[in-house]
């Protein structure tokens, strides 16, 4: 293996995940949730173990005080005050005392004891019916992670408070960590693992941050401060780039920039093809504040609101009222345009990690206790969300959809719960839209195959290609080893998409696509040619897709789809799509 610390240029090939080029210094990110080893401590070494704990508490205190001072200096005293709550955790007699007592009685290593006691406290705080105390659960969890990292000698996690703009290099970034990603400081994202549809990549694409994934052990080959170029077009990372490489990339970047400004020229224009067909372009959002971006890019509505991120970015379950306020904010901001709110899609790659009682570890999480399966089992949580969505529907145009529907029975069960919520709200005298449209995500092969049956029960379909591809091709969407086999243009995918559209249209049910395929200008014509009624994507991709739509005809897109349906290999179909795109969109 080359030694990258020698200042020679080294090119590392990965998978292109989010387009763009970045040049800057690396920040090596160590994952937030630390693995806690568990072992027995010999009696003779028990004094040292307690001293180790004391040292970790002191170091943690120093780190937090330093952050507090920086925040106070750079942002303000009020913002810095939250770190006082963190410092108080470190002085909490009950937490520290109980950890020591746990250690004395079990003799297990201090990390295990501290983890056990602090997790118990986090859980207890998060369930208390008092706003202030519930917030303390978040503080406690944050500080506990920091203490554990110090005990284990790991670098602190500073993904959400990078001091300068950096290229983030990580082994993996979980959805809950990427939810806290500092969106202004990330120059680029590079991950050892992952694929184009892993959540951190979806976030990177939404921020137009270049990303390269599947670079295997890069985290072990670089250190903080190393210089690199990230090329999100070709999926390469160039460490210690030479002058000539920098010049070459500088020229490419210039061209891309001028192309980007051409794209923005269509921002206010309608998404109409050259042969006069209007296409509905919608935005995917994860947080309420992303509505601003959706509006800035003239989205015609929100096609996918991934509500689980409200839960993932919080240390406890948001209440019905908090959810209502958040959803209402989005709905009012978009009104009269529609907002499709997707009910919780927790589990899979998006478990609430601190809620181990709700999300026990699974061998096969993507096929496990996820999304609608979780909601139908935890109807108390589901109903709080449904009532919050119904209440928000009184303030604009809301549509509701369920994720991971596998067949009609599941859909009808979910609708029965929704009906109960309607009755409850009526009894409370609370207003909601009586005509609220309910749709299903089509992302499981069984739903695709039974699209004709589901169409009878749905007002609309939204195809989640990220999952549909993973389940149809049996390719784990976040496994970098098989990422090259994750092929959106596999004939099985194209045929399935066609079948879903045809069945739905036979019953006048509109069909949209909200997976990553929809926001990729290379695939958008194929999807439209197959008959999709709308495309929903990260707001930042709207201009690129609109630019292409305005440069093509639906007749040509239909011909492309018809030809794709006759081709045998994913590569051939991809090549045809790419050709279609390049013939219409020239970068220079």
Catalytic residues, by residue number, are 199, 514
Distance of closest approach, residue 342 Cβ to Mg ion, in angstroms: 9
By CB under 6 A, is residue 467 in contact with ligand PEP? Answer: yes
466 part of the interface to ligand PEP, by CB under 6 A? yes
Closest distance to ligand PEP from the beta carbon of 537 (Å): 10
CB 530, CB 491: distance < 8 Å: no
C-alpha dihedral sign at 13, 16, 18, 23: positive
Residue 205 engages ligand PEP in binding (rule: CB under 6 A):
no
**Contact positions vs Mg ion (CB under 5 A):** 443, 464, 467
Kindly state the helix (H) or strand (E) to which residue 302 belongs, with its residue range.
strand 302-306
Q: Based on the shown chain and the rule CB under 6 A, indicate whether residue 345 belongs to the binding site for ligand PEP.
A: yes
Closer to ligand PEP by CB, 373 or 558: give it: 373
* Cα 547 to Cα 181, 261, 530, 551, distances in angstroms: 29, 11, 19, 6
Return d(Cα 493, Cα 501) in angstroms, integer: 12
From the CB of 553, what's the least distance to Mg ion, in Å? 31
Question: Which tokens is 341 given?
Answer: 């709110």
In whole angstroms, what separates CA 40 from the centre of its chain? 38
Judged by beta carbon distances under 5 to 8 A according to partner kind, the member of Mg ion, ligand PEP, none in contact with residue 384 is none
Stretch that binds ligand PEP, among 50-58, 326-334, 460-468, 495-503 (CB under 6 A): 460-468
Provide, rounded to whole angstroms, the least separation between the CB of residue 401 and ligand PEP. 10
Q: What is d(CA 161, CA 568) in angstroms, rounded to the nearest whole number?
A: 48
On whether the CB atoms of residues 64 and 90 are closer than 8 A, the answer is: yes
Find the part of the chain contacting ligand PEP (CB under 6 A) among 74-82, 248-256, 463-471, 521-529: 463-471
Q: Where does 171-242 show beta strands of DSSP type E?
A: 186-191, 211-213, 227-231, 236-239
Cα(406)–Cα(417) distance, integer angstroms: 17
User: Considering the complex, what minimum distance in angstroms separates the CB of residue 197 from ligand PEP?
Assistant: 6
List the one residue from 68, 196, 306, 490 that touches ligand PEP (CB under 6 A).
306
Report the nearest approach of ligand PEP to the CB of residue 32 (Å).
20
Q: How far is the CB of 514 from ligand PEP (least distance, A)?
A: 5
* Residue 265 structure tokens: 């020229």
Name the 3-class secondary structure at 46: helix
Instruction: Name which position in 303, 439, 464, 488 contacts ligand PEP (CB under 6 A).
Output: 464
In the complex, least distance from residue 202 CB atom to Mg ion, rounded to whole angstroms: 10
Site size for ligand PEP (CB under 6 A):
10
Buried b (16+ CB within 10 A) or exposed e, 478-498: bbbeebeebbbbbbebbebbb
Which residues touch 290 (CB under 8 Å, ≥6 apart)?
Answer: 206, 283, 539
Pull the structure tokens for residue 488.
């959106």
Closer by beta carbon to ligand PEP, 177 or else 467? 467
Q: Whose Cβ is closer to ligand PEP: residue 21's or residue 545's?
A: 545
Q: Give which of ligand PEP, Mg ion, none residue 306 binds (C-beta under 5 to 8 Å, depending on kind).
A: ligand PEP
Q: Convert residues 498-537 into a mask of x (bound to ligand PEP by CB under 6 A) and - (unbound).
A: ----------------xx----------------------
Cα within 13 Å of Cα(487), Cβ side:
16
Interaction between residue 192 and ligand PEP (CB under 6 A): no
Choose which of 465, 496, 534, 538 interacts with ligand PEP (CB under 6 A). 465
Tokens of 55: 């040292």
443 binds ligand PEP (CB under 6 A): yes
Question: CB-wise, 308 or 433, nearer to ligand PEP?
Answer: 308
CB burial string 501-515: b at 16+ within 10 A, e below: bebbeeeebbbbbbb
Give which of Mg ion, ligand PEP, none residue 487 binds (C-beta under 5 to 8 Å, depending on kind): none
* Distance in angstroms (rounded) separating the CA atoms of residues 191 and 194: 7
Span from 150-158, 295-303, 384-392, 464-472 in contact with ligand PEP (CB under 6 A):
464-472
Which residue, 114 or 541, is less far from ligand PEP as judged by CB?
A: 541
Residues at the site binding ligand PEP, with contacts judged by CB under 6 A: 304, 306, 345, 443, 464-467, 514-515
């Amino acid at each position: 293996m080359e030694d990258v610390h020698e200042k020679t240029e080294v090119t590392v090939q990965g998978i292109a995940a989010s387009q763009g080029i970045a040049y800057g210094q690396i920040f090596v990110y160590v994952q937030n949730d630390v693995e806690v080893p568990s072992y027995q401590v010999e009696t003779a070494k028990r004094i040292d173990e307690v001293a180790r704990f004391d040292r970790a508490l002191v170091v943690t205190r120093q780190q937090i005080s330093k952050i507090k001072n920086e925040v106070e200096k750079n942002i303000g005293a009020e913002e810095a005050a939250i770190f006082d709550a963190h410092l108080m955790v470190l002085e909490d007699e009950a937490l520290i005392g109980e950890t020591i007592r746990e250690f004395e009685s079990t003799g297990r290593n201090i990390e295990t004891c501290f983890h056990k006691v602090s997790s118990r406290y986090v859980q207890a705080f998060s369930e208390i019916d008092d706003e202030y105390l519930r917030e303390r659960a978040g503080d406690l969890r944050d500080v506990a992670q920091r203490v554990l990292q110090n005990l284990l000698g790991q670098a602190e996690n500073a993904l959400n408070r990078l001091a300068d703009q950096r290229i983030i290099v990580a082994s993996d970034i979980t959805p809950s960590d990427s939810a806290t990603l500092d969106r202004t400081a990330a120059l680029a994202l590079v991950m050892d693992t992952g694929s184009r549809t892993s959540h951190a990549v979806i976030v990177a694409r939404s921020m137009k941050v270049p990303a390269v994934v599947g670079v295997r052990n890069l985290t072990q080959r670089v250190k903080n401060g190393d210089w690199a170029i990230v090329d999100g077009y070709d999926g390469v990372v160039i460490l210690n780039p030479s002058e000539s490489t920098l010049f070459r990339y500088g020229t490419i970047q210039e061209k891309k920039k001028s192309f980007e400004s051409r794209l923005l020229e269509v921002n206010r224009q309608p998404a109409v093809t050259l042969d006069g067909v209007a296409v509905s372009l919608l935005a995917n959002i994860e947080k309420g504040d992303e509505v601003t971006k959706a509006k800035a890019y003239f989205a015609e509505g929100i096609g996918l609101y991934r509500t689980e991120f409200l839960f993932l970015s919080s240390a406890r379950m948001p209440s019905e009222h908090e959810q209502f306020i958040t959803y209402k904010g989005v709905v009012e901001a978009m009104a009269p345009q529609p907002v499709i709110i997707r009910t919780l899609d927790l589990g899979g790659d998006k478990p609430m990690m601190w809620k181990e009682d709700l999300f026990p570890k699974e061998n096969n999480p993507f096929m496990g206790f996820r999304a609608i399966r979780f909601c139908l089992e935890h109807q108390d949580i589901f109903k709080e969300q449904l009532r919050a969505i119904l209440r928000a529907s009184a303030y604009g145009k809301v549509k509701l959809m369920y994720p991971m529907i596998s067949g009609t029975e599941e859909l009808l069960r979910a609708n029965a719960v929704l009906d109960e919520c309607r009755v409850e709200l009526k009894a409370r005298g609370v207003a909601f839209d009586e005509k609220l449209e309910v749709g299903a995500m089509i992302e499981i092969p069984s739903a695709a195959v039974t699209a004709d049956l589901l169409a009878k029960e749905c007002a609309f379909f939204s195809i989640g290609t990220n999952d549909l591809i993973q389940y149809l091709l049996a390719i784990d969407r976040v496994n970098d080893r098989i990422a090259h086999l994750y092929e959106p243009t596999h004939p099985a995918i194209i045929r399935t998409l066609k079948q879903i559209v045809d069945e739905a249209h036979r019953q006048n049910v509109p069909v949209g696509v909200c997976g990553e395929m929809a926001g990729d200008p290379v695939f958008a014509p194929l999807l439209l040619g197959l008959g999709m009624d709308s495309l929903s994507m990260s707001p930042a991709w709207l201009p690129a897709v609109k630019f292409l739509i305005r440069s093509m005809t639906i007749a040509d897109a239909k011909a492309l789809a018809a030809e794709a349906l006759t081709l045998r290999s994913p590569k051939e179909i991809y090549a045809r799509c790419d050709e279609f795109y390049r013939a219409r969109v020239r970068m220079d």
